[in-house]
Structure 1
């Protein structure tokens, strides 16, 4: 579901885990809300959405309804925010599978992959070690997809920072970091549209 009228530019969020609302999804929602306050509509693909995407098969001749919706929504986006938990030092399988599906855009004339799109990055992990390596992996993937990672990325240690159902966090600095990501993608999106 979109949060605003369709004539506004779109920021898409991808992130979360399978099995319920996670810290990663809560962090992503805070960043998307910040983009919305800047005049963007938002659409989030959380863990439950990504769980409905089959494993990406590059040889498949047809795509499921969920795969088509995901790719079509990314095609409409002016900016993207990707949030991943750190699993074994890198991004989660469901996030990687969703990003692999963007291979469907490889031959798009208007914008192959994420060409020139600003992309905000968030990593959550139970400890600091995996946050850094997960951010590094996300940056590499965004570069490979021809996108522009925004200057700031949020690395959140969920051992120290807790989120609530109302969009809050136990750490005001983390809240501000996530809002900064939303503001940055909103700030850079018009540069791409007008460029």
Structure 2
């Protein structure tokens, strides 16, 4: 079975980023994948200081172990000031090649304005530096306040189809690249 870790780089209680991640997780699990979501809102992660050890923060080890054991990642970020959130960047900085090298990743961005690729491109750059493989398909949700219903469901059928394509590509490419 292919195993993924999902991480949303938002700390908001009713986060559209978490809703987007949940859609990707639902589609992957429906396709037979196992997905563990690490909710950063409930974890005690320090700011990265460039060190390798964080003995006073056991959630760092939990994060590192979960990612190391996974075949791939789903990374979802809000776009703040034209880039990834500090939360997702710090989370990735708390890991190294030991956890991220060779991982397959799918990336999702959520923003209040028009959809663009800034945060997605920055995630691709970060992941390339740690020798991860980012799939070609990606999801950018602009005007997120229009994308989700009160129940958290997607309102746009084309966006729902995009999530299906994203999940299929992530699963298929992970299987290919992980052997």
160 and 20 in structure 1: CA distance in 2 versus 1, 3 angstrom threshold:
closer
185 and 100 in structure 1: CA distance in 2 versus 1, 3 angstrom threshold:
same
1:116 alignment partner in structure 2:
102
The correspondence of residues 146-157 of structure 1 with structure 2, limited to 5 A, is: 146-157=131-142
CA distance in 2, matches of 1:192, 1:165: 38
State the aligned residue count: 178
Cα distance, 1:167 vs. partner?
Answer: 4.9
1:174 alignment partner in structure 2:
159
Please give the root-mean-square deviation of Cα atoms over the aligned residues, in Å: 1.9
1:3 alignment partner in structure 2:
none
Question: What TM-score results when the alignment is normalised by the length of structure 2?
Answer: 0.89
2:54 alignment partner in structure 1:
62
1:9 alignment partner in structure 2:
2
1:87 aligns with 2:73: no
1:109 alignment partner in structure 2:
none
2:45 alignment partner in structure 1:
53
Cα distance, 1:166 vs. partner?
Answer: 4.7
SS at match of 1:173: helix
- In structure 1, the gaps of 5 or more residues are 1-7, 107-111
**Cα pair 2:110 2:144 within 8 Å, conserved:** no
1:133 alignment partner in structure 2:
118
2:24 alignment partner in structure 1:
31
CA distance in 2, matches of 1:28, 1:82: 8
